[in-house]
Amino acid sequence: MSERKKLLQVIDLKLHFPIYGGLLRRQVGAVKAVDGVTFDIFEGETLGIVGESGCGKSTAGRAVLRLYETTAGSILIDGVDIATLSQEELRKKRPAMQMVFQDPQASLNPRMTVAGIIGEPLDEHTNWPRAKKLERIYELMDAVGLNRDFANRYPHAFSGGQRQRIGIARALALNPRFIVCDEPIAALDVSIQAQVVNLLEELQEQFGLTYMFISHDLSMVRHIADRVAVMYLGKIVELAPVSRLYDHPAHPYTEALLSAVPEPDPSLERRKDRIVLQGDVPSPANPPKGCNFCTRCPKVMDICRETEPVTVEVAPGHFAACHLIPQTAGQTGGAEVEHNQTRIQQGEVV
């Protein structure tokens, strides 16, 4: 993985929404929706982003495409920091980076035909003659499995799955290299979720796409992602290759999320220990002192309420931020860390 080219490098990205109050409408605080996240996405890979509602994953996806103005940090695409580009320079970069939205119903203009919707980015970014645009629209409809005969129909005539195919075709119109898929299957019937995920995988293979796949569905993320980042209250608390994360989670929040994923095998499901988190995610306008997760963590210690844990490399390519992980984790290796975690849980000081 380390020899592969990094398409995207996000460094200490922050997105704070100001809160105004008082008679003079002065800024009295900020909602720290994304609060210092750092990660890379390699060319051709899928990075899954998981976490509960309100953890900042969708905001991070939009911030990475600069659909929101960022508060601090860098977003390097091919080495160019798009966080600092002017609107005109950003417009030139737009074709390379696109988004597939959660709710195809809400993201498609009901007054435009399918051809109009899919061709909109071509109208915006090319001077192609009408015939060439129409040929491209047909090509895209073929690529996502939509019948060309439906090009003049309106979105309401389609099912949820077909509408999402229209949204995907629109995202592909300008030959992007990078697509943020923001909960692309959450609004769809379970029966067609797998079809849409399979289509995304086929298109990735066909066009060499790189995905940031945002979802709260950990089973689907396990299926599609190469690596996974777990977000909690605006921060990445753990990031690892997919099999490593699901088989050896290092952070108590990841453990809790995984414990809630149903097992297909009923006998395994019966034996599984669920970790039920108490309380709600705290407000990102007023995060707790120390570790963000300290108000709900089943393994909380005194230090967690005082000091924010630093991110350490638990094993090659596996990062987590938790005081249970010794600072020397990267040098000692994952097995050693797991052993140390057990010792800490048993009351020993490692």
Residues forming contacts to ligand SF4 in the complex (CB under 6 A) are 251-252, 291, 293-294, 297, 299-301, 304, 309, 322-324
The minimum distance between CB 19 and ligand SF4, in angstroms, equals 26
The minimum distance between CB 71 and ligand SF4, in angstroms, equals 24
The minimum distance between CB 278 and ligand SF4, in angstroms, equals 13
- Give me the residue label for tokens 């970014």: 125
Of 95 and 330, nearer to ligand SF4 (C-beta) is: 330
Of 45 and 238, nearer to ligand SF4 (C-beta) is: 238
Q: Residue by residue, what is the 3-state secondary structure of the chain? A: CCCCCEEEEEEEEEEEEEEEECCCCEEEEEEEEEEEEEEEEECCCEEEEECCCCCCHHHHHHHHCCCCCCCEEEEEECCEEHHHCCHHHHHHHHHHEEEECCCHHHHCCCCCCHHHHHHHHHHHHCCCCHHHHHHHHHHHHHHCCCCHHHCCCCHHHCCHHHHHHHHHHHHHCCCCCEEEEECCCCCCCHHHHHHHHHHHHHHHHHHCCEEEEECCCHHHHHHHCCEEEEEECCEEEEEEEHHHHHHCCCCHHHHHHHHCCCCCCHHHHHHCCCCCCCCCCCCCCCCCCCCCCCCCCCCCCHHHHCCCCCEEEEECCEEEECCCCCCCHHHHCHHHHHHHHHHHHCCCCC
Of 122 and 233, nearer to ligand SF4 (C-beta) is: 233
The minimum distance between CB 345 and ligand SF4, in angstroms, equals 9
| Token pair recorded at residue 20 | 């105004």
Of 203 and 277, nearer to ligand SF4 (C-beta) is: 277
The minimum distance between CB 289 and ligand SF4, in angstroms, equals 11
Of 52 and 103, nearer to ligand SF4 (C-beta) is: 52
The minimum distance between CB 261 and ligand SF4, in angstroms, equals 19
Of 70 and 292, nearer to ligand SF4 (C-beta) is: 292
Of 233 and 315, nearer to ligand SF4 (C-beta) is: 233
The minimum distance between CB 83 and ligand SF4, in angstroms, equals 29
